[in-house]
Amino acid sequence: MKQFAVIGCGRFGSSVARTLYGLGYDVLAIDEDEDVIQNISDSVTHAVQADATDEASIKSLGIRNFDVAVITIGSDIQSSILITLIVKELGVKYVVAKAQNELHAKVLYKIGADRVVFPERDMGVRVAHNLVSSNILDYIELAPDYSIVEILALKDWEGKSLSELNMRARYGINVMAIKHGAEINISPNALDTIRKDDVLVVIGHNDDVQKLEKKA
Amino acid sequence: MKQFAVIGCGRFGSSVARTLYGLGYDVLAIDEDEDVIQNISDSVTHAVQADATDEASIKSLGIRNFDVAVITIGSDIQSSILITLIVKELGVKYVVAKAQNELHAKVLYKIGADRVVFPERDMGVRVAHNLVSSNILDYIELAPDYSIVEILALKDWEGKSLSELNMRARYGINVMAIKHGAEINISPNALDTIRKDDVLVVIGHNDDVQKLEKKA
Ligand SMILES: Nc1ncnc2c1ncn2[C@@H]1O[C@H](COP(=O)(O)OP(=O)(O)OP(=O)(O)O)[C@@H](O)[C@H]1O
Ligand SMILES: Nc1ncnc2c1ncn2[C@@H]1O[C@H](COP(=O)(O)OP(=O)(O)OP(=O)(O)O)[C@@H](O)[C@H]1O
Ligand SMILES: [Ca+2]
Ligand SMILES: [Ca+2]
Ligand SMILES: [Ca+2]
Ligand SMILES: [Ca+2]
Ligand 2 proximity of B9 Cβ (cutoff 6 Å)? yes
Q: Which residue has the higher pLDDT, B211 or A51?
A: A51
Q: Whose CA is nearest to atom 19 of ligand 1?
A: A74
B13 alpha carbon to ligand 2 midpoint, in Å?
8
Query: Mean pLDDT throughout A18-28?
Result: 94
Residues of chain B with pLDDT under 70: 133-140, 216
CA distance B214 to B216: 5
Residues near ligand 1 (Cβ within 6 A):
A 8-13, 30-33, 36, 51-53, 72-76, 79; B 120
pLDDT score for B53: 97
What was the pLDDT predicted at A68? 96
Q: If you measure from the C-alpha of residue B24 to the centroid of ligand 6, how many angstroms do you get, rounded to a whole number?
A: 33
What CATH number should be reported for the domain whose range is B3-117? 3.40.50.720
Are A11 and B118 in contact (CB < 8 Å)? yes
The H or E element spanning position A123 is helix A119-131
Each domain of chain B, given as residue ranges in start order, spans 3-117, 123-214
Over the stretch B24-41, which tens digit does the pLDDT of each residue have?
Answer: 899 999 999 999 999 999
DSSP letters spanning A140-191: EEEETTEEEEEEEPPGGGTT-BHHHH-HHHHHSEEEEEEEETTEEESS--TT
- Secondary structure (H, E, C), chain B: CCEEEEECCCHHHHHHHHHHHHCCCEEEEEECCHHHHHHHHHHCCEEEECCCCCHHHHHCCCHHHCCEEEECCCCCHHHHHHHHHHHHHCCCCEEEEECCCHHHHHHHHHCCCCEEECHHHHHHHHHHHHHHCCCEEEEEEEECCEEEEEEECCHHHCCCEHHHHCHHHHHCEEEEEEEECCEEECCCCCCCECCCCCEEEEEEEHHHHHHHHCCC
Q: What local confidence, expressed as pLDDT, does residue B213 receive?
A: 72
In the prediction, which pLDDT does A216 show? 58
Q: Is A192 strand, coil or helix?
A: coil
**pLDDT of res. A146:** 83
pLDDT at A63: 95
**pLDDT at residue B63, rounded to an integer:** 95
CB distance A46 to A29 below 8 Å: yes
Q: Which residues of B touch A13 (CB under 8 A)?
A: 124
The CA-atom distances, in angstroms, between A124 and each of A96, B4, B161, B195 are: 20, 14, 38, 34
pLDDT of residue A135: 62
Residue A214, pLDDT > 80, answer: no
Best residue of A126, A135, A175 to probe chain B, by most B CBs closer than 10 Å: A126
The reported pLDDT for the residue numbered B86 is: 97
Checking if the pLDDT of A155 tops 70, the result is: yes
Q: Tell whether ligand 2 has an atom less than 6 A from the beta carbon of residue B12.
A: yes
3-state SS class at A68: strand
Question: Would the CB atoms of B127 and A117 count as touching at under 8 Å?
Answer: yes
Architecture of the domain defined by A123-214: 2-Layer Sandwich (3.30)
Whole-angstrom Cα distance, residue A162 to residue A159? 10
Per-residue pLDDT at A163: 94
Q: Which of chain A's residues have a Cβ under 8 Å away from the Cβ of B201? A: 142, 148, 203
List the single residue in B142, B168, B204 with the smallest CB-CB distance to A179: B142
Looking at the CA of residue A124, tell me the nearest atom of ligand 2: 25
What's the confidence (pLDDT) of residue B139?
A: 65
